[in-house]
Every structure is written in structure tokens, then in C-alpha cells.
């Protein structure tokens, strides 16, 4: 045990020595710590100052960078401006050229203006000239018109004179005819020929007397022989009469009215066809109305004859011509059958129809349908004063 205690003592002495060494070390270390703290403080203040220096430098750097950037921007701006300047220069050149062109145009315009002014002056002078000429033409025209009027008057006087001379000659020739033909009241007792007849309310006029077909004293009012005279005529011609008294003719409605109105008349109609067959019909009291009565057949009297009565159908009918439809038909019979007649719807006889040797029912032709429907070659209508007929036959 004592050994152990001795060892323990030894160990304890060693430990105490060790601890004393540690203590000295700690003191040294504590001293060093304090000095280190001072150093650290110094360093920390140095770091602070360095930091502030860095910050300032950083700021300066930033400023410098900013300046640098600005500089770059400025360079770019300068480049832009330079390019714009060159553009401006180019434009300026263009403007200069345009100016040059404009100047040229202005000069040209000025020259045109001067031309226009000259032309306008010329126009004004021409206008004056034209006005002068127009007034001269007007005065010439009025002069011509006056001369023309004088000439017309002179011509018309001359023509009037010529036509008057011709009329006088005609009248003289008619007068000499009438003088040569003694004026008769009717055809009674006269051989077949042309005579002057006088009826009340009318100047004497020529008539054809026939004494061969049905005894003496007949005034021929219508005759068809060969078709040389057209019977397709208007109202005025049927009213006045037309044709050749020695050939084919129609006496005229006005004369027919005046004759049949002056005293009672008989009517005789002679017919012949293209087979040279003949027929006749006779009416005892034939009266034609005046123009106001449309020249209607007012009376026929009693019928006699050796064929059918194709005229009775027309009693009381108006007279119609192609240009004057007075018929009882919805159409225009006179136009359809190319003649003037006492049509109604349309006819049973048409002695004024177109002269033809062919055709039948429906064909415009000279027709007497109650005999047959073939065209006729010859017709003659005649009238005679009834009393004279009575006297003549007794």
C-alpha cells in the first residue's frame, strides 16, 4: 500500500506540476487573447475603412461605368445623327434638284402664261371680228329673207296667175261645152250621149244619157266595162264622183242625192257575167239621203227583175268607203272589199268591187249574190224620173 500511496503521491505531484504549466499557458494564452482582441479591433476598423474606400471606389466605378455607357449611347446617337445627316444631305440634294425643276417649271409656266395671254388677246380680237361678221351675216340674212319674201310673193303671184289662166281656160272650155250642149232637165227623149243637166240647187253638170239598154231617158249613175278605172277610192271621191262619163265612172253621191231628191226616180240595174249572161233588176222609187244622212238608201220602192233582189239588203244602210267606216259590221267592209258601197255586214251585192274575172264568195269582186257568186263583167246603174217614165211608157 505504501507503494501505491507513493505512486499516488508521485502522480499527484506530476499533476500539480502539469496543472501549474497549464496555468501558465492559460495566462499566456489569455494575454495573447487580449492582444489578439486589440489586433482584431484594429483589423476590424481597417476593414471598415477599406469597406468605405471600396464603396467610394465602387460608386466612382459605377459613375465611370455610367459615363462609359453614356458614351456608348452617345456614339450610337452620333452614328444615328450622322446617318440622318447623310439622309438630310441626300434630301437636300433632292430638294435642290426639285428646286431646279420647279424653277424650270415656273419659267415654262411663265412662258405658257405669256402665250395664253397672247392667245387670249387674239381670241378677244377674233371675237370682235366674229361679232362683226355675225352682224354682217344677220343683216345679209334679213336682206335675203326680204328678197326671198319678195321672190315668193312674186312667184306665188306668177303661179296664181298661171293657175288662174289654167282655171279660166278650163272654165271657158266647160262653158263652151255647155253652150254647145243645150242644158236639159233630164235625159228624156235624148239619144245616148253626154249632156249637161240642171237640177235644183246645183250648177249644171255633165251626165251620160242611155237610151239603148232599157228605153229612152235614163241617166247613167254607175258603169263598169273593163276595169280601167279603180273603184277603190275614198269618201271625197265617192262624194264628188269619178271616172269617165263615156267609159267607167261613178256619178257621185251628192249629185245622186240632189237628183233623187228633186223628184221620184226609178232605178234600173243591168248585169252581165263573164259567160255573157245578162240580168236586170228595177226599183220603183229610189231615194238617196244627203251627206248628214250618210248618203243612205232611203227608199227603193217595188222590185221587179229577172234575177234575185240583192239590193234590198242594203236599204237604209249608210254609204261607206275604205277611209270612212259607216257600216254595221265590227270590221271595215269597204276596206276589206276595196270599194265604196252601202255596206252593212257586209253585203249581198257590191257593184263597185274590184274588177276581176276570178274568185267567188269572200273574194273582193263585182257581185250580185242572189244571181250567183261569180264575179260580173259588166254593170250599169241608171235612174229616170218616175213621172216621165210613166208618161213615156204611156
Residues that bind Ca ion (CB under 5 A): 325, 327, 329
Helix, strand or coil, per DSSP, at residue 120:
helix
C-beta closer to Ca ion: residue 193 or 325: 325
- Who's near 288: CB < 8 A, 6+ residues apart? 253, 256, 257, 260, 261, 295, 296, 297, 298
Residue 310 CB-density burial (10 A; 0-12 exposed, 13-18 middle, 19+ buried)? buried
> What is the rounded distance in angstroms from the CA atom of residue 139 to the CA atom of residue 137?
5
CB of 363 to Ca ion, least distance (A): 20
Q: Compute the Cα dihedral for 62, 63, 66, 68 and give only its sign.
A: negative
Q: Strands, DSSP E only, in 143-299?
A: 193-197, 205-210, 218-224, 242-243, 249-250, 265-273, 278-283, 287-288, 297-299
CB of 335 to Ca ion, least distance (A): 9
C-beta closer to Ca ion: residue 249 or 343: 343
> What is the rounded distance in angstroms from the CA atom of residue 312 to the CA atom of residue 299?
9
> What is the rounded distance in angstroms from the CA atom of residue 294 to the CA atom of residue 326?
8
CB of 240 to Ca ion, least distance (A): 23
C-beta closer to Ca ion: residue 277 or 329: 329
CB of 327 to Ca ion, least distance (A): 4
Q: 219 - beta bridge partners?
A: 209, 383
CB of 350 to Ca ion, least distance (A): 15
Beta-carbon neighbour count of residue 40 at 10 Å? Answer: 12
Instruction: List own/partner pairs for 119-128 with CB under 8 A and 24 or more apart.
Output: none
> What is the rounded distance in angstroms from the CA atom of residue 122 to the CA atom of residue 136?
21
Helix, strand or coil, per DSSP, at residue 239:
helix
CB of 325 to Ca ion, least distance (A): 4
CB of 319 to Ca ion, least distance (A): 13
Helix, strand or coil, per DSSP, at residue 315:
coil
CB of 394 to Ca ion, least distance (A): 45
> What is the rounded distance in angstroms from the CA atom of residue 214 to the CA atom of residue 158?
51
- Who's near 201: CB < 8 A, 6+ residues apart? 258
Cell of 91: 434630301
CB of 343 to Ca ion, least distance (A): 8
C-beta closer to Ca ion: residue 323 or 325: 325
C-beta closer to Ca ion: residue 344 or 349: 344
CB of 341 to Ca ion, least distance (A): 13
| Locus of grid cell 267609159 | 247
Amino acid at each position: 500500500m505504501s507503494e501505491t500511496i507513493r505512486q499516488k503521491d508521485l502522480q499527484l505531484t506530476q499533476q500539480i506540476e502539469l496543472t501549474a504549466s497549464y496555468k501558465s499557458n492559460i495566462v499566456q494564452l489569455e494575454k495573447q487573447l487580449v492582444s489578439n482582441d486589440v489586433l482584431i479591433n484594429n483589423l476590424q476598423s481597417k476593414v471598415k475603412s477599406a469597406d468605405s474606400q471600396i464603396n467610394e471606389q465602387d460608386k466612382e466605378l459605377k459613375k465611370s461605368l455610367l459615363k462609359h455607357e453614356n458614351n456608348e449611347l452617345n456614339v450610337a446617337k452620333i452614328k444615328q445623327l450622322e446617318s440622318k445627316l447623310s439622309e438630310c444631305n441626300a434630301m437636300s440634294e433632292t430638294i435642290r434638284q426639285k428646286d431646279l425643276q420647279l424653277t424650270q417649271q415656273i419659267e415654262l409656266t411663265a412662258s405658257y402664261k405669256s402665250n395664253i395671254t397672247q392667245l387670249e388677246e387674239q381670241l378677244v380680237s377674233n371675237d370682235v371680228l366674229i361679232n362683226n361678221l355675225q352682224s354682217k351675216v344677220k343683216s345679209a340674212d334679213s336682206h335675203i329673207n326680204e328678197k326671198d319674201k319678195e321672190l315668193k310673193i312674186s312667184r306665188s303671184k306668177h303661179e296664181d296667175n298661171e293657175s288662174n289662166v289654167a282655171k279660166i281656160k278650163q272654165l271657158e272650155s266647160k262653158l263652151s261645152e255647155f253652150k254647145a250642149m243645150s242644158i236639159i232637165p233630164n235625159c228624156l227623149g235624148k239619144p245616148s250621149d253626154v249632156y249637161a243637166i240642171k237640177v235644183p240647187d246645183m250648177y249644171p253638170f255633165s251626165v251620160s244619157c242611155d237610151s239603148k239598154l232599157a228605153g229612152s231617158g235614163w241617166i247613167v249613175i254607175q258603169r263598169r266595162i273593163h276595169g280601167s278605172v279603180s273603184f277603190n277610192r275614198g269618201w271625197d271621191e265617192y262624194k264628188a264622183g269619178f271616172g269617165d262619163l263615156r267609159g267607167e265612172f261613178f256619178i257621185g253621191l251628192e249629185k245622186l242625192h240632189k237628183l233623187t231628191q228633186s223628184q221620184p226616180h226609178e232605178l234600173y240595174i243591168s248585169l252581165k257575167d263573164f259567160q255573157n249572161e245578162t240580168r236586170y233588176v228595177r226599183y220603183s222609187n229610189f231615194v238617196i239621203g244627203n251627206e248628214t244622212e250618210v248618203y243612205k238608201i232611203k227608199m227603193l220602192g217595188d222590185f221587179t227583175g229577172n234575177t234575185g233582189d240583192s239590193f234590198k239588203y242594203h236599204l237604209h244602210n249608210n254609204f261607206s268607203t275604205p277611209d270612212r267606216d259607216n257600216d254595221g259590221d265590227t270590221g271595215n267592209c269597204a276596206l276589206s272589199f276595196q270599194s265604196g258601197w252601202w255596206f252593212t255586214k257586209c253585203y249581198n251585192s257590191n257593184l263597185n268591187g274590184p274588177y276581176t274575172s276570178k274568185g267567188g264568195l269572200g273574194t273582193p269582186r263585182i257581185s250580185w249574190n242572189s244571181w250567183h257568186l261569180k264575179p260580173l263583167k259588166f254593170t250599169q246603174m241608171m235612174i229616170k224620173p218616175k213621172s216621165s217614165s210613166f208618161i213615156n211608157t204611156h
